[in-house]
Amino acid sequence: MNNITALIQARLGSTRLHGKTLMLIEGESLLGHLIKRIKASRYVNDIVIATTTNESDNAIVAFAKAENLKFYCGSEDDVLGRFYQASIVYGLETIVRVTPDCPMLDPDVMDIVISKFSEGNYDYVSNVITPTFPDGLDTEVFSFLSLEKTWHEARLPSEREHVTAYILKHPELFRQFNVKREGEDLSWMRWTVDTQRDLEFVKEIFRRLSSRDIFYMHEVVEILRKNPDLMKINSGITRNEGYLKSLKNDEGYGKNIL
């Protein structure tokens, strides 16, 4: 398992919760919490932050420099292109795509996905094709060759904004595997941060586990079993709402390029 790199997609210009990437929870930013969890992985060898050239994202560059992390600045809208160029600059081979939206990412879950990719003859492995883990533990692993093919072939706005959308739409082109959680399907649980309500929920979980530098999925599940009202804080929000909205940008795309 050599040259496995976590490539973090990060910017401050989120339309749903502006600046969330560097918002603080228990004295640490969402991005900082994510990086701590990535560093707890048994398999990830390196970390690269892929941010944008926007002046507002200079704060993310400053964060990367302060943490002695590699970074790349590219297009805000063409996130696929940003990932591809960052991979070229740093010579990436196996890429683990994660985002600061997931400050409670479980290192063990991440390692299960990475291990499956390394064991099999796959182009893409994730736990999101058919979700069974809580929303917020998303991990995608793919080869540079798959990213390169996607970069050349993806055309729709949604396929450029969402790095793996083209791969997921073309199982006939990419050998894929979906990691499912053993036992109960927990995909109905929402631990990601896209809205202010999400942030309040995650803050509450971190507050209750503040004595732990890194906590794991089973600990959060235990808290929620004992305190089910916590899940009402951010209930009713659609999973992958951002991607569903971006699909609307595809409407009429063919007409626009004629």
Do the beta carbons of residue 92 and residue 49 sit within 8 Å? no
3-state helix, strand, coil in the chain (%, to 5): 45, 15, 40
**What is the reported pLDDT for 120?**
83
Query: At how many degrees (to 10) do helices 107-119 and 30-39 cross?
Result: 50
- pLDDT mean over 9-34: 94
pTM tops 0.85: yes
**Is residue 248 pLDDT above 90, yes or no?**
no
Percent of the chain with pLDDT over 90: 88
Which helix (H) or strand (E) covers residue 48, if one does?
strand 46-52
146-203 pLDDT tens trace:
999 999 999 999 999 999 999 999 999 999 999 999 999 999 999 999 999 999 999 9
The span from the CA of 87 to the CA of 255, in Å, is 32
The string of pLDDT tens digits covering residues 74-91 is 999 999 999 999 999 999
In the chain, the domains with their CATH numbers are 4-251 (3.90.550.10)
* Angle, helix 196-208 to helix 217-226, in steps of 10 degrees: 100
DSSP-assigned states of every residue in 207-256: HHTTT-SS--HHHHHHHHHH-GGGGGTTTTPPTTHHHHHHHGGGTTHHHH
pLDDT digits (tens, 9 = 90+) for 197-240: 999 999 999 999 999 889 999 999 999 999 999 999 999 998 76
pLDDT at 258: 33
Contacts 24+ apart (CB under 8 A), 201-205: 201/230, 201/231, 201/233, 201/234, 202/25, 202/103, 202/104, 203/25, 203/26, 204/230, 204/233, 205/104, 205/230
Residue 43 to residue 74: CA distance in whole angstroms: 27
Residue 88's contacts (CB-CB under 8 Å, 6 or more residues apart) are none
Mean pLDDT confidence for 131-152: 98
| Stronger pLDDT, 257 or 240, i.e. the higher one | 240
